[in-house]
């Protein structure tokens, strides 16, 4: 039997990232979970991955830290021998109207959400190039395409991911490395649980399918984009949003 593929997934300890990890594990993919908190916070996900019969290891790393991401990527390659799949999923919000948004709110969100993707791409692609194979999926947001009052920093970071993805697709395509983005709409997770009831009601009105998405809807899109069925797809933004942004 061929070796399992290896996926580095940022923010895989919980939420959408954990579901992506479990979904890829079901496809016989070993998982490097990269997260900001201590390992204990991701233990439930690590146990579920072990129960799925794949190798899963935890790496504590702040994706916004350039040298820490290099050290983490190098360690993952030492431990697993390769990285076939990179999923840039880690992300945060710090929502405020621009009138009240501080410089630190802007810098923090851009550093984690956008620079974090660059850091990972920068350090993972040399290994992928040597293997002449790589699948990169970055989690953007429909907010990056439509804008959203109170989310200037977040929307800019998610729009930036789209520009980064298209550029990565062009720079690395000749090495059989694809880069695509998934743009979730309104997905039920801790991030959206934090929204006020008023914000949620306003969002529901914008969704033709009339309901929230689930983490598995995003994970299935990622599963497709890293599969052989998507071998000729690169540079796309796949919206998974119930029609929220058409």
Identity of the residue, 176 or 199, whose beta carbon is nearer to ligand NAP in the bound complex: 199
Identity of the residue, 89 or 178, whose beta carbon is nearer to ligand NAP in the bound complex: 89
CB 230 to ligand NAP: min, Å = 20
141 binds ligand NAP (CB under 6 A): yes
Q: Which residues are annotated as a binding site for NADP(+)?
A: 11-14, 89, 154-158, 187
**Site size with ligand NAP, rule: CB under 6 A:** 28
Going across the sheet that includes 5-10, the strands are 56-60, 29-35, 5-10, 85-88, 134-139, 177-184, 237-240
Q: Which residues are annotated as a binding site?
A: 11-14, 89, 154-158, 187
CB 84 to ligand NAP: min, Å = 20
Task: List alpha helices for the chain, DSSP H.
Answer: 15-25, 43-51, 66-80, 103-110, 116-131, 143-146, 152-172, 190-193, 197-204, 215-225
Contact 126, 215 (CB under 8 A): no
154 is catalytic: yes
**Partners of residue 184 on adjacent β-strands:** 240
Identity of the residue, 9 or 173, whose beta carbon is nearer to ligand NAP in the bound complex: 9
Q: Which of 59, 118, 172, 186 binds ligand NAP (CB under 6 A)?
A: 186
CB atoms within 10 A of CB 197: 7
Q: Name the catalytic one among 58, 59, 127, 154.
A: 154
144 binds ligand NAP (CB under 6 A): no
Encoded tokens for 214: 């689930």
Q: Site residues for ligand NAP, window 159-178 (CB under 6 A)?
A: none
Distances (CA, A) of 218 to 56, 148, 206: 21, 21, 19
35 binds ligand NAP (CB under 6 A): yes
Q: Is 60 exposed, middle or buried (0-12, 13-18, 19+ CB in 10 A)?
A: middle
Active-site residues, by number, are 154
List of residues contacting ligand NAP (CB under 6 A): 10-11, 13-17, 35-37, 41, 62-64, 89-92, 112, 139, 141, 184, 186-187, 189-192
């Amino acid at each position: 039997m061929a070796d399992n593929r290896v996926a580095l997934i940022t923010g895989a300890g919980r939420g959408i990232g954990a579901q992506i990890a479990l979904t890829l594990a079901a496809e016989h993919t070993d998982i490097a979970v990269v997260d900001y908190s201590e390992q204990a916070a991701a233990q439930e996900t690590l146990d579920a991955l072990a129960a799925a019969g794949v190798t899963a290891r935890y790496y504590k790393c702040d994706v916004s830290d350039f040298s820490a991401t290099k050290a983490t990527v190098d360690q993952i390659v030492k431990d697993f021998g390769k990285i076939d799949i990179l999923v840039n999923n880690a992300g945060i919000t710090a929502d405020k109207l621009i009138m009240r948004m501080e410089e630190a709110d802007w810098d923090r969100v851009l550093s984690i959400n956008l620079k974090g993707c660059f850091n990972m791409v920068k350090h993972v692609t040399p290994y992928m190039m040597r293997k002449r194979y790589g699948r990169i999926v970055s989690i953007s947001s429909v907010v990056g395409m439509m804008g959203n009052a109170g989310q200037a920093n977040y929307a800019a970071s998610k729009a930036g991911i789209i520009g980064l993805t298209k550029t990565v697709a062009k720079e690395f395509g000749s090495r059989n490395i694809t880069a695509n983005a998934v743009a979730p709409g309104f997905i039920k997770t801790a991030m959206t649980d934090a929204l006020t009831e008023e914000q949620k009601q306003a969002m529901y009105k914008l969704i033709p399918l009339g309901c929230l998405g689930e983490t598995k809807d995003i994970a299935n899109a990622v599963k497709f984009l890293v599969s052989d069925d998507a071998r000729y797809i690169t540079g796309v933004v796949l919206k998974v949003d119930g029609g929220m942004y058409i």
